Amino acid sequence: MNRVSVIKGDITAIRADAIVNAANSSLMGGGGVDGAIHRAGGPAILEDCRKIVARQGGCKTGEAVITTGGRLPAAHVIHTVGPVWQDGLHNEPALLANCYRHSLELSAANNLSTVAFPNISTGIYHFPKDLAARIALETIAAFLEKESSITDVTLVCFDEENFHYTTHYYHQYVGPE
């Protein structure tokens, strides 16, 4: 059974157990998909983020935390912090893989079975879209091999270029059906 899909769209409209946010380490919101998620989900998300910051002081690059989805159709938001692309020599690929893996681990730990991701780090953080899509699909496919509790992973691409690369690596790592 194929448990991965790729679509073009707006992640704030997705009904899932969790959607993943491309946040920053402050967890206090920002632009891009982060801004869209907080706007659509309302203040309950930031309230949960503040509690996390009080407890653990933010979120490191490659790590993930979970909050309510507030008014979103998704029940929860998993906030992960992608690497800022510098030159590829600062551990950016491994850190991006950590974002996907830790978000899926956190989903499984919270008994969530349906999860949607945006193309983390490919906007304001300037990670090359081709390499980012390969890392996303490679990491998700490897995770699903060993963890059966997650039944649906949707990659929600906002722009045509991400959709193109994500579909390409979907065929490489997940297969046609």
**Binding region for ligand AR6 (CB under 6 A):** 10-12, 22-24, 30-34, 36, 82, 118-125, 156, 158-159, 162
Residue 62 one-letter amino acid: G
Active site residues: 34
Instruction: In angstroms, give the least distance from the CB of 80 to ligand AR6.
Output: 9
Do you know the residue count of the chain? 177
* CB 148 to ligand AR6: min, Å: 27
Q: Which is nearer to ligand AR6, 62 or 82 (CB)?
A: 82
Decide if 8 contacts 163 (C-beta within 8 A). yes
Q: How far is the CB of 171 from ligand AR6 (least distance, A)?
A: 20
Report in angstroms the alpha-carbon separations of 17 from 98, 128, 135.
Answer: 20, 28, 23
Centre a 10 Å sphere on the Cβ of residue 40 and count the other Cβ atoms it contains: 19
